[in-house]
Amino acid sequence: MTVPMSYYLVLSGLVFLIGLVGVLTRRNIIIILLSIELMLNATNINFVAFSAYLGNVAGQVFVFFALTVAAAEVAVGLAIIIALYRHQSSINVDDFRLLRW
């Protein structure tokens, strides 16, 4: 029995939305980072599902690139968070309001 394509799409849509809402609602910058990772992983589900469905490896290749880029992004992101924490002693995004207006 195969799982229909639409299941994958719904799954990835839900994961993407969970990530999106997480970015909007969470205040802890690490959780926001994780939420962004969820969004990226939702796209990876999409790519793999489409790839299997279409019988075309290009999507899986894309996933490798996306994973690598995400890893690099997280590395830089965590470094920024550490610098920020040293400065503000907080990782709550509500505290970062030096720049506004």
Partner 1 sequence: MTLPLADLLTILPELLIVGAACLLLVLDPVMPPAKKSLLAWMSLGTLVLCFFISASSMNDRVFAFSDLVVVDPYASFWKLLLYLVSALTILLSMTYLKEERIDLAEYYGFILLSLVGMMVMVSAADLLTIYLGIELMSISLYIMVGFKRFEGKSIEASAKYFILGAFSSGILLYGISLLYGIGGSTRLSEISAVVTSRGGDDPLVLIALMLVIVGFGFKVAAVPFHMWTPDVYHGAPTSVTAFMAVASKAASFGALLRVLLEGFGGVKPNWNGIIFAMCLVTLGFGNLVAIVQTNIKRMLAYSSIAHAGYALIGLVVAGQAGAESAVASQGVSSIMLYLAIYSFMTVGAFAIVAIVRRSGVEGEELEDFTGLAKRHKGAAFLMMVFMVSLAGIPPTAGFIGKFYLFMAAVNAGLTWLAVIGLIFAAVSAFYYLRVVMVMYMREPSASQESETRLALTPATAIVLACAIAGVVFLGLYPAPLVSVTQSAVLPF
Partner 2 sequence: MMELLVILIPVFPLVAVLLNGLLGHRYSHDLAGRIAFGAVGLSFVCALMVFGHMLTTGAAYEVIAYSWIFGGELMVNLGFLIDPLTTIMLLVVTGVGFLIHVYSVGYMHGEEGFTRFFTYMNLFMVSMLLLVMGNNYLVLFIGWEGVGLCSYLLIGYYFDKVSAAKAASKAFVVNRIGDAGFLMAIFLVFANFQTLDYTKVFEQVGQLSTGTATAIALCLLVGAVGKSAQIPLYTWLPDAMEGPTPVSALIHAATMVTAGVYMVVRNHAIFDMAPMALTTVGWIGGITALFAASIGLVQNDIKRVLAYSTVSQLGYMFLACGIGAYTAAIFHLMTHAFFKALLFLSAGAVIHSLGGEQDIRKMGGLHSKIPMTYKVFLVGTLAIAGIPPLAGFWSKDEIMAHAFIHAHYGLYLLAAIGAFLTAFYMFRLTYVTFYGQSRMDPDVEHHVHESPGIMMKPLLVLAGLSVVGGFVGFPPEHGWFHGYLAKVATPVGALPHVVSLSLLLGLMSVAIAIALGGWGLAHYLYAVRPQAADDLATRVPGIYATLLNKYYVDEGYDRIIVEPCKRLGLIWDWLDRQIIDRCVRGIGHMTDVSACWITWTEKHVVYAGLNVIGYGNHLIAWSWRKLQTGMVHHYAAVIVVGFFLLVHVLLLWLTGASIL
Q: Select the binding partner of residue 50 from partner 1, partner 2, none (C-beta < 5 to 8 A, by kind).
A: partner 1
Residue 1 Cβ vs partner 1, minimum distance, rounded to whole Å: 22
- For position 99 contacting partner 1 by CB under 8 A, the verdict is yes
Point out which residues pair with 28 in neighbouring strands. Answer: 92
With both helix axes pointing from N to C terminus, report the angle between 29-54 and 58-88 in degrees, rounded to the nearest 10: 180
C-alpha–C-alpha distance, residues 59 and 48, integer Å: 6
Taking a C-beta distance cutoff of 8 angstroms, is the pair 24, 41 a contact? no
Contact 62, 47 (CB under 8 A): yes
Q: Is 6 in the site for partner 2 (CB under 8 A)?
A: no
| Residue 51 CB, nearest approach to partner 2 (Å) | 26
Give the contact letters, 46-85, x = binds to partner 2 (CB under 8 A), - = no: ----------------------------------------
